[in-house]
Structures are given as structure tokens and as C-alpha cells.
């Protein structure tokens, strides 16, 4: 009968555990499944957030590029049409394709004996026509640097020549700055 004892023991080992122990596996499996689901949702949220941040940064870089392009076009137009505006004359171009002039304030002229006059002006431009309203249109500030060669004894000084545009960064839109918006 030793074989029957072994057979009984093998059958006893295959028996299901009592009902009290069977209730532990289901909550444990549910907890593990819940943790896996939460971790996958967290990873999905992080991926979506990083995509959103990348899109916002791309739009900001695009606005910066468009505004720098507008500043270069405005300064080039000023240089060709009315260069005296660089040194304090009235600007001859207030609106261009895709932008408008918010302000241009010429700075002081630095004049030293025997050297060219130098100066700069503060320029603020705003994008237009890019699907944004005047209240939310991006703005940027720039410094325009110029110099005027020294005149000879019998020659008048020439017009100021633009020598550089320095980007000073994006500015708050009119609505964000609390300014009155003018179309």
C-alpha cells in the first residue's frame, strides 16, 4: 500500500487551496493591473505634454523668425527711403506686409571729434495677418545701430548707415501689457 499513500499525497497536493486563501490572489492581480494601467497613463500624459511644449516652442521660434524678418525689412526700407529717420527723423514706413510699427525711438547721438557719429534706436514691431487678433499679436523689440561718416571740410555729412540690428526679445502683446489696442 505504499503506492496508495503516494497517490493520495499527489492528489492532495493538486487540490485547490481552501476558500480563505483563494480570495487573496484576485485583489493582488487587480492591484497589479491597476498599477500597470496608471503607469501607462502617466507615460502617455508625459508624452502628450512634451509634444505640446514642443509645439509651443516651435510657434514661438516661428514668431521670433517672422518678427526678425520684419525688422530687417523695415530697417532696409528705412535705409533706402528715409535714412535720416534712423537718427531721429520721422519714420517713413509704419506698416509693411505682415507687420506694423508699434514704436521707434531714436537714442542719443554719440559724436566724438574725428570719428563717425554713432547712435541707436529702439524698435518695436508687431505681427499682423497671421490669424491672430491685434490683442494677441506677438511683438518684439530690437535695437537698430547706425553710424554716419565724418563730413569733409566742404562736404555735408552723409545719411546715417545701418550697421546692425540687435534682438531684444519678444514682448507681451497689447492685451497682456494692458495697453489700449489701436487697429
77: nearest Cα among 62, 103, 97, 63: 97
**What's the pLDDT tens digit per position in 10-41?**
666 666 555 555 577 888 899 999 999 999 99
**Is a pLDDT exceeding 80 seen at residue 96?**
no
* CA 123/CA 140 separation, integer angstroms: 8
Confidence of residue 182 (pLDDT cuts 50, 70, 90): very low
Residue-level pLDDT at 12: 65
Report how far Cα 143 is from the mean position of its chain's Cα atoms.
20
| Distance between CA atoms of residues 145 and 87, nearest Å | 10
Residue 100, strand partner residues = 95, 126
pTM of the full predicted structure?
0.66
Is the pLDDT confidence value at 120 over 80?
Answer: yes
Whole-number Å distance between alpha carbons of 147 and 158: 10
The pLDDT assigned to 78 comes to 84
141-169 pLDDT tens trace:
999 898 887 766 656 567 888 888 999 88
**17 Cβ neighbours under 8 A, 6+ residues apart:** none
Looking at residue 13, its pLDDT comes to 63
- Determine the Cα–Cα distance for residues 169 and 39; give it in Å rounded to an integer: 39
Q: Which of 66, 77, 131 is nearest to 104 (CA)?
A: 77
Euclidean distance between CA atoms 138 and 63, whole angstroms: 7
Amino acid at each position: 500500500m505504499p503506492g496508495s499513500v503516494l497517490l493520495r499525497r499527489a492528489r492532495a497536493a493538486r487540490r485547490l487551496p481552501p476558500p480563505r486563501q483563494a480570495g487573496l490572489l484576485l485583489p493582488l492581480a487587480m492591484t497589479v493591473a491597476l498599477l500597470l494601467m496608471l503607469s501607462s497613463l502617466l507615460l502617455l500624459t508625459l508624452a502628450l505634454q512634451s509634444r505640446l511644449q514642443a509645439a509651443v516652442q516651435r510657434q514661438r521660434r516661428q514668431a521670433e523668425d517672422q518678427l526678425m524678418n520684419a525688422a530687417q525689412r523695415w530697417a532696409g526700407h528705412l535705409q533706402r527711403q528715409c535714412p535720416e529717420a534712423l537718427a531721429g527723423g520721422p519714420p517713413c514706413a509704419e506698416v509693411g506686409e505682415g507687420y506694423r510699427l508699434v514704436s521707434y525711438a531714436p537714442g542719443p547721438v554719440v559724436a566724438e571729434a574725428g570719428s563717425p557719429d554713432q547712435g541707436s534706436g529702439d524698435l518695436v514691431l508687431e505681427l499682423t495677418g497671421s490669424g491672430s487678433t491685434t490683442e494677441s499679436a506677438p511683438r518684439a523689440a530690437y535695437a537698430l545701430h547706425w553710424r554716419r561718416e565724418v563730413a569733409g571740410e566742404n562736404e555735408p555729412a552723409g545719411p546715417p548707415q545701418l550697421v546692425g540690428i540687435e534682438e531684444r526679445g519678444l514682448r507681451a502683446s497689447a492685451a497682456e501689457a494692458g495697453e489700449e489696442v489701436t487697429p
